[in-house]
Amino acid sequence: MTVLILTSEEDVTADMVVVHLNGSGVPVVRLDPADLTDGVSLSGEYVHGRFRGHLSAGGRLVSIGGLRSVWVRRPGVPAGRAPQPSAWLTEEASQALYGMLRGCDARWMNHPDAARRARHKPWQLRLAQRCGLPVPATLITTFPRAAREFAERFPDLVVKPVSGAHPQDPPRAVPTSRVAPDTDFSAVAFGPTLLQRRIAKRADIRLTVVGDRLLAARKATPADADPREVDVRFATPGPPWEPVEVPARTAEAVRAYLRRAELAYGAFDFAEDGDGTWWFLECNQSGQFGFVEVETGQPIARSIAEWLSRPVPEEPAELDEASSTAC
């Protein structure tokens, strides 16, 4: 049975997993939904109570019923590169592809419905609280007065996008940034704003979870770090990422988080404070892992390949007609 990988061609991080799948002899079909209908084709028929579907890409043809797993990595917008792209064609292509795949028995990393829900940061914060993870005091508001009062209670704040998305017109990045105590919060009225108590961190933690396997890495904050730099993605390169053990309570909590989120993969970001507490910041359901593996040597790609390679669980025996009638 085949592993289906939905991602872009330039996704070299996905390559790290494909290499392991090839090494273990597991068939792989990799395609980018953006290439529907120019390079990627699909067909499915629902006849006589049965479904038969196929996907084709790069000269490979795979039966949808023959998929053991689907890895949704970095797929493009369906039909985004069609000769005549349109919002209507994208919706058609999306419904056809993901609709057929939703009906198969393959295991997902991650299921699109779970992934969509898991991208909501406010939902993440609440789930983390419920799972017992420490969450910094956070306010999401459009009330300038609420922001001012929150800043009085928690004078050392950061601001970050609610969605994690970044504006593209023009392209800009919005890093997590410190908010000065005397800031004018009147612009909070013009868009939901996420304010969070800053954790005086001594390290960043990236905890990558693949199924039941936890792989944590730690990047120490240099003693002479610029106190204005709070977003590790924008900070000047410091010490390398190094493997670190996961505290037992944290391990239990993140497993509960993924179970309740119905995710097979998650990349958690924590800030480690001076007491060694890991404060939950977010969980990226499709977070990057290549940069951690190349620095730490942790077998993240291999773990993903092993998860994707597992056989599809056998279906429970179907009820016969008599027992169906009895119900």
Partner 1 sequence: MQPFALNYARPAVELAVATPYAYDSGLQLNVLGDGRIAACDHALLREVGTTTSTAGSKTHFDD
Chosen residue from 28, 216, 281, 305 binding partner 1 by CB under 8 A? 28
Query: Which one of the spans 85-93, 101-109, 184-192, 303-311 is the region binding partner 1 (CB under 8 A)?
Result: 184-192
User: Is the distance from CB of 157 to CB of 177 less than 8 angstroms?
Assistant: no
Q: Does 168 bind partner 1 (CB under 8 A)?
A: yes
Of 165, 248, 322, 327, the residue at the interface with partner 1 (CB under 8 A) is 165
Which residue of 136, 175, 238, 299 would you call a contact of partner 1, by CB under 8 A?
A: 175
148 binds partner 1 per the rule CB under 8 A: no
DSSP letter, residue 266? E
| Binding range to partner 1, per CB under 8 A, among 128-136, 154-162, 244-252, 253-261 | 154-162
Rounded to whole angstroms, how far apart are CA atoms 230 and 226? 8
Choices 89-97, 190-198, 253-261, 272-280; region in contact with partner 1 by CB under 8 A:
190-198
Distance in angstroms between the alpha carbons of the first and the last residue of the chain: 35
Where does this chain touch partner 1 (CB under 8 A) — which range of 8-16, 46-54, 85-93, 244-252?
8-16
Q: Does position 155 bind partner 1 by CB under 8 A?
A: no
Task: Establish if 185 lies at the interface with partner 1 (CB under 8 A).
Answer: yes
Q: What is the Cα Rg of the chain in Å?
A: 23
123 contacts partner 1 (rule: CB under 8 A): no
Four-CA torsion 216, 71, 33, 91, nearest 10 degrees:
-90
The DSSP line for 188-232 is GGGS-EEEEEPP-EEEEEEEEEETTEEEEEEEEPPTT--TTB--T
**Does residue 237 interact with partner 1 by CB under 8 A?**
no
Nearest Cα residue to 175 out of 226, 214, 116: 226
Residue from 193, 208, 250, 298 that binds partner 1 (CB under 8 A)? 193
**Segment interacting with partner 1 (CB under 8 A) among 44-52, 159-167, 209-217, 256-264:** 159-167
Question: From residue 324, how far is each of 49, 103, 123, 315 by CA, in Å?
Answer: 17, 22, 39, 17
How many residues sit in the footprint of partner 1 (CB under 8 A)? 58
Q: Is 188 in the site for partner 1 (CB under 8 A)?
A: yes
Stretch that binds partner 1, among 69-77, 86-94, 254-262, 270-278 (CB under 8 A): 69-77
Q: How far apart are CA 285 and CA 208, in angstroms?
A: 10
Please report whether residue 311 would count as binding partner 1 according to CB under 8 A: no
Note whether 13 binds partner 1 by CB under 8 A.
yes
Q: Using a CB cutoff of 8 Å and minimum separation of 24, what contacts does 233-242 make?
A: 233/175, 234/173, 234/175, 240/295, 240/296, 241/206, 241/217, 241/291, 241/292, 241/295, 241/296, 242/217, 242/218, 242/295, 242/296
> Is residue 74 a contact point for partner 1 (CB under 8 A)?
yes
Residue 250 binding partner 1, by CB under 8 A:
no
Q: 50-57 and 60-63: which strand pairing?
A: antiparallel
Place of tokens 């990393």: 109
Q: Of 64 and 188, which has the nearer Cβ to partner 1?
A: 188
Distance of CA 11 to the CA centre of its chain: 15
Which residue's CB is nearer to partner 1, number 169 or number 275? 169
Contacts with partner 1 by CB under 8 A lie at 9-10, 12-13, 15-16, 18-19, 28-30, 58-59, 74, 76-77, 119, 147, 159-161, 163-168, 170-175, 177, 185, 187-188, 190-194, 206, 231, 233-234, 267, 284-291, 293-295
